[in-house]
Structure 1
Amino acid sequence: MNLLVKSKAEGRDVVALAEGVLTYVGFSAHRLSVGERLPVSSQDKEICLVLLSGRISVTGEAPGQGRFDWQNLGDRQSVFEDKSPFAVYLPPGSQAEVTALSAVQIAVCVAPGDPSADLPARMIAPDSMKRSVRGKAANTRYVCDILPDSEPAHSLLVVEVRTPSGHSSSYPPHKHDEDDLPHQSFLEETYYHQVNPPQGYVFQRVYTDDRSIDQAMTVENNDLVTVPKGYHPVTVPYGYESYYLNVMAGPKRAWQFHNDPQHSWLLDL
């Protein structure tokens, strides 16, 4: 299984995870020109739309809620701005349409939904998202929790991370592939990458303890990395900045990870 999904340089559909590759996580990213529309149907899933850049309006209908209409969302032109994104949560059975009011980049994050939970569709404002700094020295990175486990959803966890030039991220290597709470949770994951300047690249490795998975990848702008299990660190070459959008989901909505014991000594530095 090739864990790297290459992006397309042109067209509306930038990159997508093929149906059935993962059990819990689905993902696609899109670019829209002014006036272009993107229809979204959640069916039996739940969806988090993350506005990466540009301005949009989102209209639609959700079960038991009726129509919703959020106009003129968006105030960042790049994921590398020091700003949180706008996002929209759609429960199962929702129908929505995204209209681009400028050049737009948008991500569609998908996971199993629970229609009986009666969660409403909602707009998630940037000022409601927790921002934090994680790590230290050349392990420092900047985190924005878009849809954490403290906010209502059935399966989805969504977070974005900016990593400075020359730094490592998702590091020391950690994993979350065992249903062993409170010590570790089982969560599949995708990494949607952007690089600044865009001609750059980052390195990501995905590996398991028994090396049944062990892939080291050169990841370019807009590429997607699939993490069905295992450790998954990222390294950013000097001169370039890294952005990635993480989508996680599993049988239980909790994020508990386990560091690779071979590298856990790094936490003592």
Structure 2
Amino acid sequence: MTTAHHLPAGTTGTGVHTVDVSPASAGWAHSSLRVLELPPGGRHTFATGDSEWIVLPLAGGCTVVVDDGTFPLTGRTGVFKGVTDFAYVPRDAEVVVTSRDGGRFALTGARCDRRLPARHVPASSVPVELRGTGSCSRQVNNFGAAGVLDCDRLIAVEVITPGGNWSSFPPHKHDEHRPGEESELEEIYYFEFAPHEGVPGLGYQRVSPSGHGIGTDVLAEVRDGDVVLIPDGWHGPSMAVPGHHMYYLNVMAGPDPERAWLIRDHPDHAWIRATWPEQPVDPRLPLYTAPEKS
């Protein structure tokens, strides 16, 4: 079922994009996500407009041409198989993406003011973090995190949650500007799941009202290609059913003068963090690590 904030696979696609979420379609001001599918030999040209973007291979490799620069992206076979390299492209540019063998590519975007240089970032430069312990263990690929990649507004990370685990827990929010304590950020979740013997995976996503904003309230069964929009509210947990690893791509941006990810934990559940040192990290993690720098 489609709701205002849970968008099942296929409900937002336009043209070559299987997902197309813009500030206009989301009803907010900053964050965007497109998922581009190209056939072998495929080519796509787009104008960045007033936004900065990251071209992130989900499956397959591609070449990105922008500002007289050419950036070949090795990519990966899938989101559960390895860290990927990527390209940052600035606002007010024309970008050409081509793929010899075809593939699926995320375009994560945020409206911005500064025009920064286009660049290629190798997979070896992506910090892989293990967050939480026990059944809250998950892996975070911090490719576009604040403090990792120089962007004007955009923040983007990948999270992998082993089957049966909970992530985005304790529930947290970032819907108020509280200097040094909490950021105001719109957020997009894009999901994929590892199948088991050909059976597709699934998970569940919760967002509950925080008393700020419009009062976002979501309890959704999520599957491959689904999107959840979070303009405000406590978000979490994100639950992976047993037997199926869950992947989600987070895209964030907001109006605060500082580009930072500052969160407030739900007061009813914040205590869970104190139990983490008593438990080991899930031994299935990391699923993979970034390659060593050459």
Take 1:248 and 1:124, find their aligned partners in 2: how far apart are those partners? Answer: 19
Residue matched to 2:96: 97
Shift of 1:260: 0.3
Residue matched to 2:31: 25
Residue matched to 1:64: none
Q: CA offsets per residue over residues 76-133 of structure 1, 9 Å max, x none?
A: 201001x21121111111111110122311011111122xx34111111111111110
Residue matched to 1:54: 60
**Paired letter, 1:120:** P
Where do residues 231-250 of structure 1 align in structure 2 (5 Å cutoff)? Answer: 231-233=234-236, 234-250=238-254
SS of residue paired to 2:76: coil
Q: Is the 8 A contact 2:202 2:224 kept in 1?
A: yes
Q: 1:142 to 1:25 in 2, by over 3 A?
A: same
Shift of 1:40: 2.2
Take 1:101 and 1:246, find their aligned partners in 2: how far apart are those partners? Answer: 27
Q: Is the 8 A contact 2:190 2:228 kept in 1?
A: yes
SS of residue paired to 1:55: strand
TM-score normalised by the chain length of structure 2? 0.84
Take 1:250 and 1:60, find their aligned partners in 2: how far apart are those partners? Answer: 25
Residue matched to 2:172: 174
RMSD of aligned Cα (Å): 1.8
Take 2:59 and 2:95, find their aligned partners in 1: how far apart are those partners? Answer: 19
Take 1:214 and 1:57, find their aligned partners in 2: how far apart are those partners? Answer: 40
Take 2:182 and 2:23, find their aligned partners in 1: how far apart are those partners? Answer: 27
Residue matched to 2:210: 209
Instruction: Give 1:45's match in structure 2, choosing from 51, 55, 60.
Output: 51
Residue matched to 1:7: 9
Where do residues 116-195 of structure 1 align in structure 2 (5 Å cutoff)? Answer: 117-150=114-147, 151-195=149-193
SS of residue paired to 1:127: helix
Q: Is the 8 A contact 1:5 1:15 kept in 2?
A: no
Take 2:101 and 2:139, find their aligned partners in 1: how far apart are those partners? Answer: 27
Q: CA offsets per residue over residues 130-170 of structure 1, 9 Å max, x none?
A: 11100000000001111121221110001001100000011
Does 2:197 align with 1:200? no
Residue matched to 1:227: 230
SS of residue paired to 1:235: strand
**Paired letter, 2:36:** H
Take 1:145 and 1:164, find their aligned partners in 2: how far apart are those partners? Answer: 17
Residue matched to 2:269: 263
Take 1:182 and 1:267, find their aligned partners in 2: how far apart are those partners? Answer: 20
Take 1:216 and 1:29, find their aligned partners in 2: how far apart are those partners? Answer: 24
Take 1:136 and 1:232, find their aligned partners in 2: how far apart are those partners? Answer: 19
Q: Is the 8 A contact 2:216 2:230 kept in 1?
A: no
**Paired letter, 1:221:** D
Take 1:223 and 1:110, find their aligned partners in 2: how far apart are those partners? Answer: 18
**Paired letter, 2:90:** P
Q: Is the 8 A contact 1:91 1:113 kept in 2?
A: no
Q: CA offsets per residue over residues 212-261 of structure 1, 9 Å max, x none?
A: 32210011101111010112110111111100110000113110000000
SS of residue paired to 2:142: strand
Take 2:119 and 2:75, find their aligned partners in 1: how far apart are those partners? Answer: 18
Q: Percent identical across equivalent pairs?
A: 31
Q: Is the 8 A contact 2:23 2:29 kept in 1?
A: no
**Paired letter, 1:132:** E
Shift of 1:209: 2.6
Take 1:189 and 1:213, find their aligned partners in 2: how far apart are those partners? Answer: 12
Q: Which runs of 5+ in 2 are unaligned?
A: 276-294
TM-score normalised by the chain length of structure 1? 0.92
Take 1:240 and 1:141, find their aligned partners in 2: how far apart are those partners? Answer: 13
Take 2:233 and 2:44, find their aligned partners in 1: how far apart are those partners? Answer: 34
SS of residue paired to 1:266: helix
